[in-house]
């Protein structure tokens, strides 16, 4: 078997999707959006953009590569974004030119229509974007970006509806896949979730007159907004002045929220479905300790995403929790371009073993997932080099065996370790004393489903684990992707 290869600075995680945020009814709305995007930075570090509207200055936008803190904290940028209405987006490229993003790919996207301008920010992935794009180009549309999200603007342009809100409905009825959308006109802030509710979107209140829409509740906290409720699957809200109007523009469907939001994507201080993400992750550790116990001296998280599950595992098992691996908090996504002599030091730039603690110990390492497995091997080597007597991996998600097509940048299936190996084969390939993943039922129990997964009608989207895709990825099937055979 050919070795699994990844860039030495690749932390071997599924890449975050995107984050969206919008505000209406407050002075300097773009500053609130910048703060919200900063709180959502974990959902996309590649680039960010903000669009605002002011009656005297019209629509204005700024798009930048890199972190929010490096771009949208400067007065000379924020002064160009006046008004009481603004939306923003942080990006990790899940569709379009991955790894070679052009500034024109950075959202929000803007369109000028006969009834005025409209800007749109989209989190998720449209699974029929290629077919839509071909159709639109044949009918004369001229695309400016490689992003699937731009299809929404072109579909709006072709709608015969008389209002922008109705045109958004028209456009979103044509698309398939996952979408949470925040949009704005000259007077309205609009939020929409797809009928399955795959990606998150929440509503917040700012003081007496302001409103906010956000991918996660943690971004409401940073601006001092009160969480009101989640936008429901298949719901569209239109906010104008102090009025929030709700409609249901799509055919009703059973909710299939992305369960990996609970495992990894969302911040642990966010609330999903009325439940703390931190508590769900801690409970995953409890379930793991019940399902896969092992005699050991220490339970250590792989920072930072494995921490809550490691705490839960320790509490349930009675094995002491310890910081056996220390993360360098100042390691960014990029550092020096590695030469051959330091090519294998990538993980060490981010993580270092607490040698005095680890030496001679039987160590349980708790991580959130195994994708390619490359980083797991490197961490195992570091732990053994530090003198550990045994290394046991416990993984806070089931084996990732299928790619996601709903807004997560996943390697092709052949590059996913669990797609080509059994659990025992993965254990031997990584080179650890034991390797155990939480079961799918265990994950569901940790997420609050006491009876586990309903196989006939799953409560979440878990396609990355089960191969059960709630929406057929038509573009990928056209390219040759083979769906899981019916059982």
Q: Which residues are catalytic?
A: 18
Distance (Å) of CA 289 to CA 76, 126, 181, 364, 390: 53, 38, 38, 11, 17
Q: How far apart are CA 166 and CA 187, in angstroms?
A: 15
Q: Regarding beta strands 202-206 and 210-214, do their DSSP bridges make them parallel or antiparallel, or are they unpaired?
A: antiparallel
Q: Are 349 and 335 in contact (CB under 8 A)?
A: yes
Strand ranges, E, within 319-404: 325-327, 351-353, 362-367, 390-395
Q: Are 288 and 436 in contact (CB under 8 A)?
A: yes
Coil, strand or helix: which one is 391? strand
- DSSP state, 415? G
Neighbours of 354 (CB within 10 A): 15
Q: Are 374 and 351 in contact (CB under 8 A)?
A: no
Angle between helices 374-385 and 423-430 (to 10 degrees): 50
Q: Are 127 and 196 in contact (CB under 8 A)?
A: no
Q: How far apart are CA 135 and CA 138, in angstroms?
A: 5
**DSSP string across 241-253:** TTEEEEE--S---
Q: How far apart are CA 483 and CA 186, in angstroms?
A: 43
Neighbours of 426 (CB within 10 A): 21
Distance (Å) of CA 368 to CA 8, 121, 444: 19, 29, 15
Phi-psi region of 20 (alpha: psi -120 to 50; beta: other; left: phi over 0): beta
Kind and range of the H or E run holding 173: helix 164-174
- DSSP state, 344? T
């Amino acid at each position: 078997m050919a070795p699994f290869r990844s860039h030495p600075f690749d932390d071997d995680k599924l890449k975050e999707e995107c984050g969206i945020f919008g505000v209406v009814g407050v002075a300097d709305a773009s500053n609130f959006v910048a703060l919200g995007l900063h709180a959502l930075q974990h959902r996309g570090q590649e680039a960010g953009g903000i669009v605002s509207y002011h009656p005297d200055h019209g629509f204005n936008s700024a798009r930048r590569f890199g972190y929010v803190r490096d771009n949208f904290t400067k007065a000379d940028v924020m002064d160009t974004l006046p008004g009481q209405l603004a939306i923003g987006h942080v990006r990790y490229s899940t569709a379009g030119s991955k790894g070679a993003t052009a500034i024109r790919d950075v959202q929000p996207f803007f369109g000028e229509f006969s009834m005025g301008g409209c800007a749109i920010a989209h989190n998720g992935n449209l699974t029929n974007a290629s077919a839509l794009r071909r159709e639109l180009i044949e009918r004369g549309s001229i695309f400016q970006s490689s992003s699937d999200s731009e299809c929404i603007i072109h579909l709006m342009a072709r709608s015969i509806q008389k209002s922008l809100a109705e045109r958004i409905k028209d456009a979103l009825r044509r698309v398939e896949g996952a979408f949470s959308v925040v949009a704005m006109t000259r007077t309205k802030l609009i939020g929409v979730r797809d009928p399955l509710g795959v990606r998150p979107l929440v509503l917040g209140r700012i003081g007496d007159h302001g409103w906010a829409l956000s991918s996660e509740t943690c971004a409401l906290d940073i601006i001092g907004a009160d969480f009101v409720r989640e936008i429901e699957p298949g719901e569209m809200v239109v906010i104008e002045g102090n009025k929030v109007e709700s409609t249901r523009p799509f055919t009703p469907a059973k909710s299939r929220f992305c369960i990996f939001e609970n495992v990894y994507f969302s911040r642990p201080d966010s609330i999903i479905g009325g439940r703390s993400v931190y508590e769900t992750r801690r409970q995953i550790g409890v379930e793991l300790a019940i399902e896969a116990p092992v005699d050991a001296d220490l339970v250590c998280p792989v920072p930072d995403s494995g921490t809550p599950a490691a705490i839960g595992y320790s509490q349930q098992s009675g094995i002491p929790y310890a910081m056996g691996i220390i993360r360098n908090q100042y390691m960014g996504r990029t550092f020096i371009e590695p030469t051959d002599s330091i090519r294998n030091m990538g993980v060490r730039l981010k993580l270092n073993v607490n040698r005095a603690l680890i030496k001679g110990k039987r160590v349980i390492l708790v991580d959130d997932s195994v994708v390619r497995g490359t980083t797991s091997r490197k961490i195992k080597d570091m732990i053994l080099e530090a003198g550990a007597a045994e290394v046991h991996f416990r993984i806070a998600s089931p084996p990732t065996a299928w790619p996601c097509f709903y807004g997560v940048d996943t390697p092709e299936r052949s590059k996913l370790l669990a797609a080509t190996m059994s659990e025992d084969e993965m254990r031997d390939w990584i080179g650890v004393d034991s390797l155990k993943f939480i079961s799918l039922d265990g994950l569901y129990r940790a997420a609050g489903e006491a009876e586990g997964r309903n196989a006939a009608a799953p409560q979440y989207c878990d396609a990355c684990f089960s191969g059960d895709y709630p929406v057929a990825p038509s573009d990928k099937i056209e390219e040759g992707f083979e769906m899981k055979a019916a059982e």
